[in-house]
Amino acid sequence: MIPLKPVGVGPSPPRAVSRSVRKIALLGSHSASLRSCPWDDPSWELWGHAAARAWYARNLDRYFDLHRRECREREYRKHTKYPDWLAGNTVPIYMWEHYKEIPASIKYPKDRILLEYGGVRRYFKNHLAWMIALAFSEGVTHLALFGINYGHHTEYEIQRGSAEYWLGRAEERGIHLILPDECTLLQEPKGLYGYESHDEKGRLLDHWKPKVKDVITPLVPGQPVNLIEPPEHVREQIEEEARVFPRPDWAFKRTDGEEVKA
């Protein structure tokens, strides 16, 4: 009698491999906290902005440059040999598209990331937001920031809210956050509002008051000015920029009609 073969018996399906720990460090160009980066620890993946590569002690595991093509082709980028570096780079770099002239470029999965994590808010206001969301999609468990602060009174101050928003989303997901002491994200101002924001007389503590920004004092006509001469290499860049992007005629006129010397 021929024995019956049980239905459904066959080769076992391959078992999925899971990682209990995945540590990703996101890097910027804020020099102070970059000193704490685990450069020689192979358990960490290092991701960062390609334009900040000069600050990094070694090649990273992934680079990001999500600006449009015209940004990196601007004249000042050419002076830094950035396009040449992109053409020879072999580290995966996430960009708008895969570009033939940049062999290592990878199209960032923007549509999928927006579908999964954007919701109705779509609060992606810096590279950090895009990097954190991609880390979410790949199962990060530990997330560290080195060289990222968003504390300067430039576009970084505008982007700070988005940075802290995505760090909050990471912590809510149970991801272990590691922020060096030099990083002020999620740390300012100190203390709990209402409970630790005012003194015993009801006055707002200094570190809860708005920061005083640098104010440029206008020059007074006739007042002598002691200008600091820039280094030679900076002067050359200034002259080159003036040649490539000449000032329009109206920029050489004062409100009183007098000519302004360049």
Cα gap 48→93, rounded to integer Å: 9
Please provide the average confidence, as pLDDT, over all residues in the chain: 80
- Strands 105-107 and 176-178, sheet pairing: unpaired
What does the pLDDT read at residue 107? 97
Of 28 and 262, the one with more pLDDT:
28
Domain boundaries, the chain: 23-178
Cα gap 32→180, rounded to integer Å: 10
Q: 30, 21 in Cβ contact below 8 A?
A: no
What average pLDDT does the segment 148-163 reach?
75
Closest by CA to 141, choosing from 19, 21, 46, 18, is 21
Percent helix / strand / coil, the chain, rounded to 5: 30, 15, 55
228-252 per-residue burial string, b: 16 or more CB within 10 A, e: under 16: eeeeeeeeeeeeeeeeeeeeeeeee
| Residue 175 phi, psi (nearest 5) | -75, 135
pLDDT tens-place string over residues 193-209: 778 778 887 888 877 77
Lowest mean pLDDT among 32-46, 89-103, 172-186, 195-209: 195-209
**pLDDT tops 50 at residue 8:** no
Give the number of C-alpha atoms closer than 13 A to the C-alpha of residue 33, restricted to the C-beta side.
Answer: 22
What does the pLDDT read at residue 16? 47
**pLDDT tops 80 at residue 233:** no
Distance in angstroms between the alpha carbons of the first and the last residue of the chain:
104
| Residue 14 phi, psi (nearest 5) | -60, 140
**pLDDT tops 90 at residue 130:** yes
Identify the band that residue 120 occupies on the pLDDT scale cut at 50, 70 and 90. confident
